[in-house]
Amino acid sequence: MKRAVYPGSFDPVTYGHLDVIKRASEMFDVLVVSVLNNKMKSPLFSVEERVKILKEATKDIPNVEVDSFTGLLINYAAQKQIHVAVRGLRAITDFEYELQIAQTNRKLSQGALDTVFLTTSLEYAYLSSSSVKEIASFGGDISECVPDFVAALMKEKFRNRSGVL
């Protein structure tokens, strides 16, 4: 069974992430989409909320599992007996950062965790969770960036936060 993990913050999941999830799910028997529980960031959605959102957004893809992790990706992957991480590349600006993480993970895991990159489909290349949050915080239209139910949840969050990021 070929299994892979797609790690990320997913705060929130965008159509760009979902495009990567759909395409990666066709390459592996099981794709585990795993939300990083990063104590250093102050996310819009809690890890539990992000997991729930991802489960809803991927409910029609049977070989996708949604999970969360803390700490190093290599330890999480080893514990799950997964040897491939999937990441999306939008543009050259992503490349340097992603290359560094991929090489670090390969070195730290002594070759046990490799990274496969999927180039984001062109229509989603401009998308990032950060810009989607910024647009939503000012009441902008994010209907082309995230599924409708995510846009509604974001609207709710920003209403409660009085529009502050």
Interacting residues toward ligand PNS by CB under 6 A: 7-9, 36, 72-73, 101, 104-105
From the list 24, 130, 19, 14, the residue with the least C-alpha distance to 6 is 24
Phi and psi, residue 2, nearest 5°: -90, 120
Smallest distance, Å, CB 133 to ligand PNS?
13
Q: Contact 35/51 with Cβ under 8 angstroms?
A: yes
- Nearer to ligand PNS (CB atom), residue 71 or residue 163: 71
Nearer Cβ to ligand PNS (103/155)? 103
Please choose, from the candidates 125, 121, 13, 119, the residue with its C-alpha nearest in 3D space to the C-alpha of residue 66.
13
Is 17 an active-site residue? Answer: yes
For the question of residue 41 being annotated catalytic, the response is yes
Find the shortest distance in angstroms from Cβ 92 to ligand PNS.
16
Catalytic residue among 41, 155, 159, 161: 41
Q: Cβ of residue 36: shortest distance to ligand PNS, in angstroms?
A: 4
From the list 22, 39, 41, the residue with the least C-alpha distance to 31 is 22
Which residue type, as a one-letter code, is found at position 165? L
Closer CB to ligand PNS, residue 101 or residue 125?
Answer: 101
Cis ω for the linkage preceding 62 (within 30 of 0): no
> Is 157 among the residues known to form the active site?
no
Looking at beta carbons only, is 65 or 163 nearer to ligand PNS? 65
From 17, 50, 87, 133, the catalytic residue: 17
Q: Min. distance of Cβ 162 from ligand PNS in angstroms?
A: 26
Torsion of CA 147, 152, 155, 157, to 10 degrees: -100
Enumerate the active-site residues. 17, 41, 90, 129
